[in-house]
Structure 1
Amino acid sequence: MDASVLTDLPAWQRLGGAYTAEEIAQQPRMWTALADLLDDAQARIDRFLGEALRQPDQLVIFTGAGSSGFIAEMVADHLNAQWPAEVRALHTTSLLTHPALYLRRDRPTLLVSFGRSGSSPESVAAVELVRDRVDDARFLDITCNADGELARRGHGRSDTLSLLMPPPSCDRAFAMTSSLSSMLLAALSVFDGAPWPQRVQRLRSLASHGERALQAWDGAVGTLAQAAYSRVIYLGSGPLEALAREAALKVLELTAGQVLALANTPLGFRHGPKSTLNGDTLVVMLRSAQPLSRRYEQDLLDELRGDGIAARVISVGPDGDDRADGDFVLDAPALDDSWLAPLWLLMPQCYALQRSAALGMTPDNPFPDGTVNRVVQGVTIHSHG
């Protein structure tokens, strides 16, 4: 198929990727819809949060598994820097196995759960675990599925606030795309310390920039995906480290592991992981908007391009004087990296989709044998008593 037709749904239908393509392309519309949704919910959100974030003894845990856990990592440090409360990211897959390391019965705790389906066994079990082990526990469920277990179990409870994302964001495809960016931006909008109108306006601005990014990058991503790189390395720092991990996961998922994808930080990459480079490796730097971070990133980009070991080295991020040929850049709004992450994620999402199709796979269902599932299966929740 033509390399510049993300929105050509009939073509993607023939390739078994129509859901994935549509759900990537619809994200700017979801962000606009989210702005309207959160505007309507502001009073309810403010009542629920009250003064909790201003209390130093308050613990706020952002949690999820897999991609949802990466959302937690992308937002937690940015928000922790703004409030007296302690805000941290913790994957449900760690919380369930080692609860004594993270929970105290006498410490007020707000568990913020991310869930596309809201029905993964770890998500449900994490809520029950915190409810059982913490005396003053409350729950904010950010989910895309009104019929999921999180939404159903939290309905009508005074200790729970459920925030449902725009319905189309409940991705039908295997990979999380519009669900992830919607839940990420919802968390930032709810917890950021900026005035509420400014937060909502950020969503609308990001939607506009997202439309431009998809239009500008579509053809180049399709061409890039035709090259037979067997390894892809994503690099990012701060909140973009988790973005790099999510970007790598998308490649692994949509190619069913046929393309090896790894993630690291620009400074950490030299400490051993650089040994993964070879002549079949694509390196993608997810660039920060922060000047200090960009200097470290540029040092590594210059080094990797000078070494000539990797097949190709490119970057994705805000436009600047340090751009190079082949970079995916955008004249982005002046926001912190957590807020800009959904913009840069558009490129890795599109790449994973196009690479999957180039390998002759079906992106909407890259595991037709059922060995990996859209909603995780096979998890036994063991007693923590």
Structure 2
Amino acid sequence: MTTLFERTSTGWRDIGGLDTAEEIAHQPALWEALATHLGAMRERIQAFLGDSLRDPRQTVILTGAGSSAYVGEIIADEINAAWPCQVRAIPTTSLLTHPALYLEAGAPTLLVSFARSGNSPESTAAVQLVRDLAPAARFLNITCNAQGALARQGEHDAGTLNLLMPAASCDRGFAMTSSFSCMLLAALCALDPDFQPEHMATLAELGRQAIDGWSAPVATLAAQPVSRVIYLGSGPLEALAREAALKIMELTAGRVMTMANSALGFRHGPKAAVNGETLVLLFRSADALSRRYEEDLLAELRRDGVAHAVLAIGTGGEFGIDTPPWPDAWLAPLWLLAAQQYALHQSALLGLRPDNPFTGGIVNRVVQGVTIHRHDES
């Protein structure tokens, strides 16, 4: 009988969590499948992008809603530093409400959309908005659903490239897990000039090691009830902290309150949230300067002796693994494996059904109830 994260498959099925457990566990295999697919697509991707990223006038907007927005936030600075073009991460939820702040009609624009299903109303509305306000814009859709509205919207448009993830990455469970890591890695592979194909094979092997090595200790940690979880991260890992915090908020149906912040920003007020029922988890950066600031904060929090526990995720941390000297954006999917497992166990601990914690339909897998308002109507 298969065991996933210290519980049998039957056990996960019985509590309504098998889809989510499997979708966390199969990520390394999906990363390998993704590498093969991207290799086959490489010439098409390069032809579509052309020299646009070398143009200082080019604006690249990385967009999505919720977890999909965090994908863009994790990679934006890495990609921006690599090219002369201007790269920004702007959620669809901001583009739609304040388009005049972000879109310029005459500027060459590439909209990179991240979407698990591609059926969220904001996804397609953001594309239409950019078409209206920046008529020469082009569109790169990174999505897990070939039948979604986002993919279908641009499948016959020469100015659009659909970059589809492996079909199994379109998570059946409520929370985005494998969809998140696959879209993040696909964007890095497509847009990072330093990408080497062997990166993905190495990452997949590290992912397997991380899942095997962290399974028992993460389950043990999650068996200790807490009422608050705080994730901290610096640079690109601050956005990863937001994604990790959201996973707990979603899978516990809001019963465990969460917060995310940077290592340096945490002292400026948010530290007041720490009490005896708080778990603090810090994603350790690969950057030497950032790590010094992080170590200072970890030492301070442990001296305070207030939090239930203060732990680090990343090389040298309580949940760590030796990695190549890669940037934080490339390592983020590894560290997220620990956070996803922890959220899964917290959901089970509270007696919820991880595959759908919101049985009353208050929050849905694909957002509902959004009315799209025209930008040109007062």
Shorter chain as denominator, the TM-score bin is over 0.9
Shift of 1:5: 3.3
Match of 2:5?
A: 5
State the alpha-carbon separation in 2 of the partners of residues 190 and 207 from structure 1.
18
Task: Identify the match of residue 276 of structure 1 among 252, 273, 277.
Answer: 273
> What residue number does 1:228 align with?
225
Partner residue, 1:168 = 168
Q: Distance in 2 between matches of 1:349 and 1:270?
A: 26
Name the residue aligned to 1:182: 182
Q: Where in structure 2 are the equivalents of 1:25-174 lying within 5 Å?
A: 25-174=25-174
- Contact in 2 for aligned 1:3/1:223 (Cα 8 Å): no
Aligned to 1:242: 239
User: 2:144 is aligned with what amino acid?
Assistant: C
Aligned to 1:313: 310
Residue 7 of structure 1: CA displacement? Answer: 7.0
**2:206–2:334 CA contact under 8 A, matched in 1:** yes
Report how far residue 135 of structure 1 moved. 2.6
Once the two structures are superposed, residues 312-334 of structure 1 have per-residue CA deviations (whole angstroms, 9 ceiling, x without a partner) of 00000013xxx4xxx11111122
**Which of 296, 320, 327 does residue 293 from structure 2 map onto?**
296
Could you tell me which amino acid in structure 1 is paired with residue 253 of structure 2?
Answer: A
* Residue-by-residue CA offset, 1:57-85 (whole Å, 9 max, x unaligned): 00000000000000010011110001000
Question: 2: CA distance between counterparts of 1:170 and 1:89?
Answer: 22
> Equivalents in 2 of 1:123, 1:5: separation in Å?
33
Q: Secondary structure at the match of 2:314?
A: strand
Q: 1:166 to 1:74 in 2, by over 3 A?
A: same
Q: Give the AA of the match of 2:192.
A: D
Q: 1:150 to 1:339 in 2, by over 3 A?
A: same
State the partner residue of 2:214. 217
Within the candidate set 328, 338, 345, 2:319 is matched to 328
Tell me the secondary structure at the aligned position of residue 262 of structure 1: strand
Report deviation, 1:353.
Answer: 0.1
One-letter code aligned to 1:339: W
Note if contact 2:5-2:21 (Cα within 8 Å) is conserved in structure 1. Answer: no
The separation in 1 between residues aligned to 2:56 and 2:234, in whole angstroms, is: 27
Task: Give the SS at the match of 2:247.
Answer: helix
Which runs of at least 4 in structure 1 moved beyond 2 Å after TM superposition? 2-8
Q: Percent identity?
A: 60
> Does structure 1 residue 357 correspond to structure 2 residue 336?
no
Residue 290 of structure 1 aligns with an amino acid whose one-letter code is D
Local SS of the residue matching 1:247: helix
Structure 2 unaligned regions, length at least 5: none
Residues 212-238 of structure 1, C-alpha deviations (whole Å, 9 max, x = no match): 000000011111111111000000010
SS of 2:5's partner is: coil
The alignment of Structure 1 onto Structure 2 pairs a total of residues equal to 375
Partner-residue secondary structure (3-state), 1:318:
coil
Equivalent residue letter for 2:347: S
**Match for residue 285 of structure 1 among 279, 282, 286:** 282
Deviations 1:237-272 (A, max 9, x none): 100000000000000000000000110001000000
Distance across 2 between alignment mates of 1:126 and 1:105 = 15
In 2, the alpha carbon distance for the partners of 1:358 and 1:332 equals 32
Supply the distance in 1 between the matched residues of 2:212 and 2:167 (Cα, whole angstroms): 24
CA RMSD across the alignment? 1.2
Does 1:341 pair with 2:332? yes
SS in 2 for 1:119: coil
SS of the residue corresponding to residue 329 of structure 1 reads coil
* SS of equivalent to 2:82: coil
Q: Structure 1: how far apart are the matches of 2:258 and 2:366?
A: 22
1:4 is displaced (CA, Å) by 6.8
In structure 1, what is the Cα distance between the partners aligned to 2:336 and 2:218?
12
Residue in 2 aligned with 1:261? 258
Q: What's the TM-score, normalizing by structure 1?
A: 0.96
Residues 61 and 109 in structure 1, CA contact (< 8 A), matched pair in contact too: yes
Secondary structure, counterpart of 1:158 in structure 2: coil
* Cα deviation 1:78-121 (Å, max 9, x = unaligned): 10001000001000000000000000100000000000001100
